[in-house]
Amino acid sequence: MDFLKWVLAIYTLFTFLATPILSISILNNQELANISANFLNLAKSPKLFDWVVKIRRTIHENPELGFEEFETSKLIRNELDKMGIYYKYPVAVTGVVGYIGNGKPPFVALRADMDALPIQEEVEWEHKSKIPGKMHSCGHDGHVAMLLGAAKILQEQRDDLQGTVLLVFQPAEEGGGGAKKMLESGILDNVDAIFGLHVSVNSPIGTVASSSGPIMAGSGFFDAVIKGKGGHAAIPQNTIDPILAASNIIVSLQHLVSREADPLDSQVVTVAKFKGGGAFNVIPDSVTIGGTFRAYSKESFTQLKQRIVEVITRQAAVQRCNATVDFDTTNRPFYPVTVNNKALHEHFRNVAGQMLGIDKIIEKKPTMGTEDFSFFAEAFPGYFYVLGMVDETQGRFESGHSPFYRVNEDVLPYGVALHASLATTYLLEHRLKSTAQDQSVHDEL
């Protein structure tokens, strides 16, 4: 692209003349606008748009659960092969990491999650899920398609990229902690920054929403077994009732937030599972309860975890029962708070503002939802944003995890262009940093 080569020429001259002071933005508004506009125009071109839509629909028809995304991963690898993009596989069972650029720092990553949900699709359309009981009802099919679309654009500009873009296709976002397992593999050790997105039914198409700092809570899950002594419901004096004990435990757990937490420090404890007994006139031997707890700081999260154990075991003892608590972090790892890096927030606002207009950037309010992108953002600077896709002319868009969930495919070019623009401009603005780094950093390619 002529516009990118022109920017690079100016940038090269700056490199020779300037002292490497990284706080000074290298690209002015006009240069950012040129890059952003050109990438959006490319993403909206009929040929690329149709290709991205086809990829999304193919994945939607064949949903796979966490760590089972073998066919999705195969599709990704086939497309990367066609583009001539080098990649590593397998990463965390089914994950794929592709590389575009010169193999040298800085390294900027773009992430897309791949997994579906155990939900029966109720949307009647030509590309409905072909797998009974499984559905892409959170937009991850669109996420993969957008990152592959960005890969097409970036690969065409690979000789001009001032560093390396990593394409992170991640398994098992929906509770499996796939991001954590990818980090543990060591494949992302040299990453300087990472960007991730999620389509949203809460804001109009053509808008983005995010903010600096904590935006989503840290979370964990727990199961507890309360054991008593079963017997006939007509002679409760001969039993030790675990249902009564569990009921008292549930009420007491609610006091952890209402009476122990700072009202200005958002926390949640929810018991959403209660299993005990199978007859109207029989008190069971045991009851199982389970739920989730969430907080916006490590300190509050750790305190909640400790108090959940204390409340369950001690309240059970009051009722003459025994209780055990299991957090099962092997299969359901605790998710950290999702924290957006301040510097990356400014970078995002500059890029998105030039592409969409500053009035299209919405300040995202923190929520108690969780996102395993938080593992990446905890390991190195990260930035997560949501991409609006609401169009009132297309009817109501149901929220994620609904069997009636739909993706407005008109949103796909925006994700493609933002991915490509954020990565390209990040590398341009950090070229001085990469040239000043220790040359002993190994070549990823």
Give the integer Cα–Cα distance in Å for 369 and 384.
13
pLDDT score of 317: 98
For the sheet containing 382-390, what is the strand order? 86-91, 95-101, 164-170, 107-113, 193-204, 382-390, 208-210, 361-363
Look at the block and give the residue holding tokens 């072909």: 130
Give the pLDDT band of residue 32 (cuts 50, 70, 90).
confident
pLDDT score of 34: 86
Tell me: pLDDT of 17 over 50. no
Give the pLDDT band of residue 442 (cuts 50, 70, 90).
low
Strands 208-210 and 361-363: parallel
Could you give phi then psi for residue 350, rounded to 5 degrees? -65, -45
Tell me: pLDDT of 444 over 80. no
Amino acid type, 33: A
Tell me: pLDDT of 330 over 50. yes
Give pLDDT tens digits for 332-381.
Answer: 999 999 999 999 999 999 999 999 999 999 999 999 999 999 999 999 99
Q: Do 115 and 66 meet the contact criterion of CB atoms below 8 Å apart?
A: yes
Q: Between residues 284 and 7, which one has the greater pLDDT?
A: 284
Tell me: pLDDT of 443 over 70. no
Rounded to an integer, the average pLDDT of 161-166 is 96
Give pLDDT tens digits for 188-240.
Answer: 999 999 999 999 999 999 999 999 999 999 999 999 999 999 999 999 999 99
Tell how far CA 110 is from the center of its chain. Answer: 11
Give pLDDT tens digits for 67-96.
Answer: 999 999 999 999 999 999 999 999 999 999
Give pLDDT tens digits for 124-157.
Answer: 999 999 999 999 999 999 999 999 999 999 999 9
Give the pLDDT band of residue 29 (cuts 50, 70, 90).
confident
Strands 107-113 and 164-170: parallel
Give pLDDT tens digits for 295-319.
Answer: 999 999 999 999 999 999 999 999 9
Tell me: pLDDT of 20 over 60. no
Angstrom CA distances, 150 to 68, 77, 96, 287, stand at 24, 15, 15, 50
C-beta neighbour count of 263 within 10 angstroms: 8
Give pLDDT tens digits for 373-423.
Answer: 999 999 999 999 999 999 999 999 999 999 999 999 999 999 999 999 999
Q: Is the pTM of this model over 0.75?
A: yes
Give the integer Cα–Cα distance in Å for 6 and 306.
58
The DSSP-derived string for 72-129 is HHHHHHHHHHHHT-EEEEEETTTEEEEEEESS-S-EEEEEEE---BS------STT--
